[in-house]
Structure 1
Amino acid sequence: MNFNSLSKSRRFAILLILGLLSAIGPFSIDMYLPAFDTIAADFDSPIEKIQLSLTAFFVGIAIGQIIYGPLLDKFGRKKPLFIGLIIYIFASIMCAFTEDANHLIVYRFLQALGSCSGMVASRAMVRDYFDPREGAKVFSMLMLVIGISPIIAPSVGAFVLAHFDWHIIFLILTGLATLILLAVIFVLPESYKGNRGMSLYPKAILTGYWSVFKTPVFLLYAMVGGFAASGLYAYLSGSPFVLQSLHGLSESQYGIAFAMVASCLIIATQLNRVLLNRLTSEEISKKASYFQAASGVLLVIFALTGMLNLVTLLALICLFLCAQGFIFPNTSAMALAPFDRLAGSASALLGCIQMALGAGSSALVSHFHNGTQFPMVAVMCGGALISFLIYLLLPKFNNRRAQV
């Protein structure tokens, strides 16, 4: 299918659906964050255990993407999407009616397995439709939709908690996924028919993934983007406790603060589209990586010196996520640029690496929970520093990177 030959309204509809498919995972994360304290009290469980339901979601996305990648390459993009969205709908209903923390952790894992189909397929479809430079711009546009979710989702979650019950949050997610499934069925065109000759035997799948993984351009930018994103997931995991329990924000105030911080991510992704007219994706992401590392170091210094009050914390997190808005779309486009036949597997492995690192950072925040904000800011800083050091200490890749 020639994307440029479609009408303007059809192109907008396709991009909107791709954005929604990319956002269903983040929306599922952000919407229930204000309910952590409420769920913990309802289940009579420590908040650290409720945080594990978020970690389980990250693990589910990391594992699920590995499963969907070969399926997208063999059967095309839409059929695996159907399966994933149905799994998501089922798991969301089960989350809504669960009665203890252990079951919530299991159902959140299943919910993640379903949601990641949209994340993998949307990235692969961008690779199908666009060249790398245009792909970076489209990823920035998708980030606009993804970025809206941290603004809307916590506010919706806080509203639900104020007027209803936390179980309703998961019923809303069920309805949203149902609408997306209908849009995929009736509006979204197939971008790749699939390679029916592709083997799904474990050895063949592992060979394909290894071929992707050992590609220097992919490995470099997947790691840069993955470690940068791990700081974001540390913030997602730790912010309910830090902002509500330590800094005394109410559920509605937490939603407002979360929205303010997320707006920085949105603004950065849209500025990225403008900068791509003058700079390469590598130049932009490299400068943003340095900026994010500096923000992370300041977070730690301010925390250690007792200067990290609410205003300073939110300001530095805004700077941190602003850098993330430049890093994600550019590193994603560059990591996927070398692939055609294995675009689905490359998209899956890219997402798996990012989510595995995100799950690890979330688990670290939970494991080192000590009643202070230091575990969150330390893990954020660590992810940003590693991303920065990959750029700094691997000059041997300079001549092998794709200038896109």
Structure 2
Amino acid sequence: MNHEWIKMALILGLLSCVGPFAIDMYLPALPVMAESFGAPVEAVQYTLMSFFIAFGVCQLFYGPASDMFGRKPPLYFGLILFALASIGCAFAPTIEWLIALRFVQGVGAAAVMSIPRAIIRDRYTGTKATRLMTTVMLVISISPMLAPLAGSALIGPFGWQSVFVAVTLATILSLLLAGFGLPETLQPADRVPFRFGAMWRAFRTLFCDPGYMGLTLIGGLGMASFFVFLSTSSFLYTEYYGLTSTQFSLAFALNALGFFTASQFAATLGERFGSVSVVRWAVTGFAVSASAMCALIAAGFDSFALLVAMLLLSNSFLGLVVPTSMVLSLDDHGPIAGTAAALGGALQMLTGAVAIVLSSLVFDGTPLPLVASIAICALLALGLSLLTLRRSAAVLVQS
């Protein structure tokens, strides 16, 4: 890895951390905020929901905008909007104001979800892109490991408002790094003119491409299984298995570590066996391990150690599936990489949101609904991979 490669990976990774940090640091503050505002828990949860809605949907606008105006102007807009909304959140007088400002915060955060993917595609394709994507994901991995603990450390002495102050400072740092350290990767000659027809044609091209849609949804189903884990693990680990908050954080970090450690081997395996083969075999491993985990829990082998070990294994396979499928989905769409990255991110967020809603309807505080939901996501991803990769193997780029 040369100096330029490392610099870009660090900058893109830190930019991509903005959105996750706004979620992960914020979670420990929810009970305190409910007490502070005198609001019911449901109202405080709406602040999280409003962020996710904006975070997912607004990627559809940043992608085309980055294809039309270059990568950096929309990135600047998103970061500045996010910082201003974060300041507003810290001084929100009522829960209603906080819900609205969290929505605005999500609008800004959407920029740093989709545009870094397009920047990677501007510079690299194939396994080189996969290697950079996985390096960026390694930087992102600090969020689920450290952000909840950092949020808890701030909330105690300084109150829940300090979380938003810290996020604002991190955003200002990201803005400076983007301004002085990140080059513009889409030159004026390669930009798409601002025409609604052109944007509509780009979306139509993507929706009509079975390879793109299949790979996007394979990654989306993988992410959906992880979203289900995020939404239920705290209740399951602390209430069912009796873990303390610190023990929960460590167990949570262990599963995240499996995902991000495995992702670092995606590019190397892609170079040796081909990216299509990596996705095919990793999805198969994900489906087999998730199904085995579900079968063991259903058979009565209710052990916390077993659950953590099986989640670690299945999440490790996900670490190979997600970055490789992301890169493959963009390979054939260089001229509209921003739009393709944005649509992919939005579809994956929507898939995850649907999975959370459906799993919450059957969650009863025991591990079985969680592992069954993960197994269903894995089996659907396997079926989709069999259709998509067999149909697209002849045209997908293998490096």
Q: What's the TM-score once normalised by structure 1's chain length?
A: 0.89
Inter-partner Cα distance in structure 1 for 2:305 and 2:299: 15
User: Letter of the aligned partner of 1:117 in structure 2?
Assistant: A
SS in 1 for 2:290: helix
For 1:340, the equivalent position in structure 2 comes to: 334
2:287 to 287, 293, 309: 293
Distance 1:100 1:244 in 2: 30
Aligned: 1:152 with 2:159: no
**Contact 2:25–2:147 at 8 Å: present in 1 too?**
yes
Deviation of residue 380 (structure 1)? 2.4
> Given residue 359 of structure 1, which amino acid in structure 2 is its aligned partner?
A
Q: Aligned with 1:307: secondary structure?
A: coil
CA shift in 2, pair 1:22/1:368, >3 Å: same
How much does 1:157 deviate? 2.0
**Structure 2 counterpart of 1:131, from 125, 133, 136:** 125
Cα displacement (A) at 1:160: 2.5
Q: Identity of counterpart residues, as a percentage?
A: 33
CA contact (8 A) 2:83 2:168 kept: yes
Instruction: Confirm or deny that 1:257 pairs with 2:278.
Output: no
Partner of 1:58: 52
Q: Distance in 2 between matches of 1:347 and 1:229?
A: 15
Query: Structure 1 pair 284/210, CA: closer, same or farther in 2 (3 Å)?
Result: same
Distance 1:311 1:159, change over 3 A: farther
- The aligned runs of 1:249-398 (5 Å cut-off) are 249-394=243-388, 395-398=390-393
CA 1:52–1:370: 2 relative to 1, 3 Å: farther
Q: What displacement does 1:375 show? A: 4.1
Matching of residue 142 in structure 1 with residue 125 in structure 2: no
Deviates further, 76-85 or 18-27: 18-27
Instruction: Tell whether 2:221 aligns with 1:227.
Output: yes
- Residues 253, 35 of structure 1: alpha-carbon distance in 2 compared, 3 angstrom cutoff: farther
- In the alignment, structure 2 segments of 5+ residues that lack a partner are none
Report the counterpart of residue 398 of structure 2 in structure 1: 403
Which is further off, 10-19 or 63-72? 10-19
Partners of 1:62 and 1:352 within 8 A in 2? yes
For residues 326-358 of structure 1, give each alpha carbon's deviation from its aligned partner in whole angstroms, at most 9, with x where no partner exists.
011110110000122211111111111111112
Per-residue deviation, 1:401: 3.2
User: For structure 1, which segment, 39-48 or 205-214, has the greater mean C-alpha deviation from structure 2 after superposition?
Assistant: 39-48
Q: Note if 1:174 corresponds to 2:172.
A: no
Partner secondary structure for residue 216 of structure 2: helix
Change (3 A) 1:51 1:285: farther
1:115 pairs, out of 99, 109, 119, with 109
User: Does the 8 Å contact 1:33/1:240 carry over to 2?
Assistant: no
> Partner letter of residue 218 of structure 1?
Y
For residue 18 of structure 1, what is the aligned residue in structure 2?
A: 12
**Distance apart, 1:15 and its partner CA:** 2.0
In 2: Cα distance, 1:305 partner to 1:38 partner: 39
CA distance in 2, matches of 1:367, 1:43: 28
Range 80-89 or range 368-377, more displaced: 368-377
CA distance in 1, matches of 2:43, 2:235: 12
Match of 1:190 in 2: 184
Q: Name the CA distance, whole Å, in 2 between partners of 1:398 and 1:277.
A: 16
8 Å Cα contact 2:215/2:385 also seen in 1: no
The SS at the match of 1:342 is helix
Equivalent-residue separation in structure 2 for 1:399 and 1:277 (angstroms) = 17
What is the rounded CA distance, in whole Å, between the counterparts of 2:103 and 2:242 in structure 1? 30
Q: Residue 367 of structure 1: CA displacement?
A: 4.3
Q: SS at the partner of 1:189?
A: coil
**Equivalent position to 2:202, from 208, 219, 228:** 208
- Return the offset for 1:212: 2.1
Specify whether residues 197 and 290 from structure 1 end up closer, same or farther in structure 2 by C-alpha distance, changes over 3 A only. closer
2:61 equivalent to 1:71: no
CA contact (8 A) 2:190 2:335 kept: no
Question: Which moved further from structure 2: 343-352 or 11-20?
Answer: 11-20
User: Closer, same or farther in 2 for the Cα pair 1:109/1:144, shift >3 Å?
Assistant: same
Aligned 8 A contact 1:63 1:352 in 2: yes
Give the superposition deviation at 1:84.
0.3
The Cα of 1:54 is off from its aligned counterpart by 3.7
CA distance in 1, matches of 2:200, 2:99: 29
Per-residue deviation, 1:253:
2.5
My pick for the range that moved more, 329-338 or 231-240, is 231-240
* Residues in 1 aligned to 2:239 and 2:384: alpha-carbon distance in whole angstroms: 35
Between the aligned partners of 1:52 and 1:373, the Cα distance in structure 2 is 25
Give the residue type in structure 2 aligned to 1:128.
D
- Matched to 1:245, the amino acid is E
Cα separation, 2, equivalents of 1:94 and 1:148: 26
Give 1:23 deviation, angstroms.
2.2
The verdict on how the C-alpha distance between 1:250 and 1:169 changes in structure 2, with shifts beyond 3 A counting, is farther
- The CA deviation at 1:66 is 0.2
TM-score (norm 2): 0.90
Q: Equivalences for 1:30-69 in 2 at 5 Å?
A: 30-40=24-34, 42=36, 50-69=44-63
How many residues were matched structurally?
398
**Kept after mapping to 2: 8 A contact 1:285/1:326:** yes
Q: Hey, what's the Cα distance between the residues in 2 that align with 1:305 and 1:167? A: 46
Contact 1:155 1:256 survives alignment (8 Å): no
Q: For the residues of structure 2 that align with 1:133 and 1:263, how far apart are their CA atoms?
A: 22
